[in-house]
Amino acid sequence: MKLRETIIKHLLKEQDYIVGYADLRKLLAAKYAQYGYGIVIGRRMDSAIMDSIETGPNADYYALYQTVNVELAEIVKSIEAELRGNGIKAAGIAPSLTALDRNERFDHTLSLDFSHKLVATRAGLGWIGKSGLLITYEFGPRVRLVSVLVDYPVDYCRKPVLKSECQDCDLCVQHCPANALIGKEWTITTRREEIFDVFACREKCRELGGRIGKGIRLCGICISVCPFGKA
């Protein structure tokens, strides 16, 4: 089976996506340990809309966020079904994880058992920025991610990214309305709490998202101001 061709044919406009393949053996939580490899797909977010949220989220951003999530969820379901039809054990992971994905530590850590960003960095698509977001080489942080775990050997993985390339840039730190970003550069040994205060970020997202009138948590300022991915 030609795995790469199988993935690409499910993408609507190939130029709007990046795809990476990662060796994840011994890196996944126990519930996913049966899968040794991962496929991650990044969908580029509309540049004009992302530029428009430098001072906070708006209705256009909320609509884009929802639309892209639905698109990626449909894509990952289609890919999972085709892979399984070809005898490959596969598990599609939705772009936004749900309550079913929470572990017993979630209320205390806001951490989950799966990270799309882990797959993406191991696939060589980019690094974790001072914002705590994935910064891709092609689109910067202006992406939404979805993943498929497989038990099918993938021997064409790119070299994993092991450290940050933000260097002296700290625009996301300067513009964070929650003052949640610490400014530390990431390496593979860096813990999330060394990069940002996830609870302060969530609370500010609740406040800003509430202004849209949707009862949601949403911000995106750190994505908008990041120089990587700007047109």
Alpha helices in the chain (DSSP H): 3-8, 47-51, 59-85, 106-109, 116-122, 171-175, 198-210, 221-225
Residue 195 is assigned to a structural domain of this protein? no
| 16-64 per-position pLDDT tens digit | 999 999 999 999 988 899 999 999 999 999 999 999 999 999 999 999 9
Residue 226 is assigned to a structural domain of this protein? no
99 — pLDDT class (breaks 50, 70, 90): very low
Alpha helices in 86-115 (DSSP H): 106-109
Q: What is the pLDDT of residue 203?
A: 93
Higher pLDDT, 157 or 65: 65
Structural domain containing residue 15: 3-163
Residue 178 is assigned to a structural domain of this protein? no
Q: What is the pLDDT of residue 100?
A: 47
Please state whether beta strands 90-93 and 134-136 pair in parallel, antiparallel, or not at all (unpaired).
unpaired
Q: For the chain, what is the mean pLDDT?
A: 91
| 143-178 per-position pLDDT tens digit | 999 999 999 988 777 899 999 999 999 999 999 999
- State the total domains in the chain: 1
Residue 65 is assigned to a structural domain of this protein? yes
Residue 73 is assigned to a structural domain of this protein? yes
Residue 172 is assigned to a structural domain of this protein? no
Residue 121 is assigned to a structural domain of this protein? yes
Residue 194 is assigned to a structural domain of this protein? no
